[in-house]
């Protein structure tokens, strides 16, 4: 795949970039290693000052970088600006909290005495250069939620971004440079996917994090495992959205639309499978389908656009294949279901779509639909709702709508997911851990759990 900005709203190639050669990559790896030796010795106050400065600059750049993101991957520009603001918030959160999250810990006095020590500390120390392999769908947020905690912990970052968002990738390196971080603290590597393995095998790279597809995660995890390097993987998701009879059905249907089509439906944590109790199924379906039909599909640079183009022609083709497979096998189309053919929208658009009558044999039941396509399931009771929800190889997040406390307890206990969001849609926040189970990956980002993922957790024992 070429490293290029191709506007998904019209298919026009705007900029192309040459991949970095072996000499330049070696220079950058040497720089990362050298910078780490000195940067690791800086204090939290110094790192926080730099990170807050980067957050200020990002806010100043919000309009411009928002338009760049929209041009590169097609999200509505109002969502792109919101993404930039969210990144600045997360940077400030880590600047404020990292020192406390990584403060030395002292075990209980009784355990210290029992070990024969006079004092024991648990200390968090940085690992070194961390390679981040990041996707295009949230081209700022996915990077910042790795970079902010990694830099505050004293690590340095090497970014291999998706090949279709090179301008955003280069902006991120420039952002940290302008904020005053030492040269080499954060570097963008303009390389193709075929160059990742060699970098991951390099002894100077101490760990890796990847957000992306399951095949990409398997490839990185395989190499990292061979090299005995720590990894954090956030892979696909096919999140359930369960609506029970006690729920506010109007509100649940309204939020469901945003939960499905945010970021043009191209989000791992977007709700994708809508599992509705039979008692409220018809009422929910009527409201949900009507609202999906009412969404404006159009130019993502226009402020009133709800759904822009998919990021690539291949992405649209993949989505079409899932829908076509389902309809050939008997699924009913309640809205959408075929690509838009409007001359004023020449790009890779696909309309908001709702399918029902889904069976286990259909690909869309098993695979992630990365675009504005929702599947509706009818559940007879809570047990069946849980069964349908867990009938997936993914386990990223989940959403449940109920006013019954006993039902909430049951969903929290039994749903196989990294998060359960009650009477609301899944959303990431810097204070809360984020990640999945099963084939959605392992490890956690954000919160204290996320910042400690790339730390050497060191026991310091003092004799009596």
* 268 catalytic per annotation: yes
Task: For 323-355, give one letter per residue: b (16+ CB within 10 A) or e.
Answer: beebbeeebeebbbbebbeeeebebbbbbbbbb
* 33 catalytic per annotation: no
| Active-site residue (options: 234, 367, 407, 453) | 234
| Active-site residue (options: 87, 185, 268, 335) | 268
CB atoms within 10 A of CB 37: 10
User: Whole-angstrom Cα distance, residue 121 to residue 124?
Assistant: 10
User: Whole-angstrom Cα distance, residue 435 to residue 132?
Assistant: 16
**Virtual torsion, Cα 279, 281, 283, 284, nearest 10 deg:** 130
Position of tokens 């970052």?
A: 157
Q: Helix H segments across 329-439?
A: 363-366, 382-390, 405-414
Position of tokens 């892979």?
A: 235
Distances (CA, A) of 199 to 83, 193, 277: 29, 11, 49
**Quick check: helix, strand or coil at residue 167?**
helix
Residues annotated as catalytic are 234, 268
């Amino acid at each position: 795949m070429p490293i290029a900005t191709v506007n998904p709203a019209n298919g026009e190639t705007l900029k192309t970039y040459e991949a970095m050669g072996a000499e330049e990559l070696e220079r950058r790896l040497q720089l990362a290693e050298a910078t780490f030796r000195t940067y690791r010795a800086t204090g939290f106050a110094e790192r926080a000052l730099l990170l807050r400065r980067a957050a200020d600059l990002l806010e100043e750049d919000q309009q411009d970088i928002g338009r760049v993101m929209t041009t590169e991957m097609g999200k509505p520009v109002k969502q792109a600006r919101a993404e930039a603001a969210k990144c600045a918030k997360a940077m400030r959160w880590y600047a404020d909290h990292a020192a406390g999250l990584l403060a030395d810990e002292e075990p209980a006095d009784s355990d210290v005495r029992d070990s024969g020590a006079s004092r024991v500390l648990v200390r968090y120390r940085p690992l070194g250069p961390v390679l981040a392999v990041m996707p295009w769908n949230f081209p700022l947020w996915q990077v910042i939620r790795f970079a902010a905690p990694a830099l505050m912990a004293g690590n340095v970052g090497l970014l291999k971004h998706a090949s279709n968002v090179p301008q955003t990738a280069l902006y991120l390196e420039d952002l940290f440079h302008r904020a005053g971080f030492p040269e080499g603290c954060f570097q963008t590597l303009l390389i193709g996917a075929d160059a990742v393995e060699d970098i991951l095998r390099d002894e100077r790279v101490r760990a890796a994090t990847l957000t992306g597809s399951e095949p990409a995660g398997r490839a990185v995890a395989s190499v990292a495992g061979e090299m005995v390097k720590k990894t954090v993987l956030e892979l696909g998701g096919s999140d359930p959205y369960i609506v029970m009879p006690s729920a506010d059905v109007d509100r649940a249907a309204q939020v469901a639309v945003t939960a499905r089509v945010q970021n043009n439906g191209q989000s791992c944590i977007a709700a994708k499978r809508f599992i509705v109790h039979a008692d409220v199924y018809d009422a929910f379906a009527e409201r949900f389908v009507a609202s999906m039909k009412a969404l404006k599909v159009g130019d993502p640079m226009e402020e009133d656009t709800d759904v822009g183009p998919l990021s690539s022609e291949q992405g649209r083709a993949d989505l079409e294949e899932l829908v076509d497979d389902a309809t050939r096998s008997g699924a009913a189309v309640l809205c959408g279901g075929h690509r838009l053919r409007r001359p004023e929208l020449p790009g890779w658009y696909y309309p908001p779509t709702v399918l029902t009558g889904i069976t286990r044999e259909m690909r869309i039941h098993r695979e992630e639909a990365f675009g504005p396509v929702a599947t509706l399931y009818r559940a007879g009771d809570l047990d069946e709702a849980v069964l349908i929800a867990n009938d997936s190889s993914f386990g990223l997040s989940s959403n449940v709508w109920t006013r019954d406390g006993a039902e909430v307890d049951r969903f929290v206990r039994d749903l196989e997911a990294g998060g359960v969001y009650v009477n609301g849609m899944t959303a990431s926040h810097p204070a809360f851990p984020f990640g999945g189970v099963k084939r959605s990956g392992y490890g956690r980002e954000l919160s204290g759990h996320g910042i400690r993922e790339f730390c050497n957790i060191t026991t310091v024992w003092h004799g009596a």
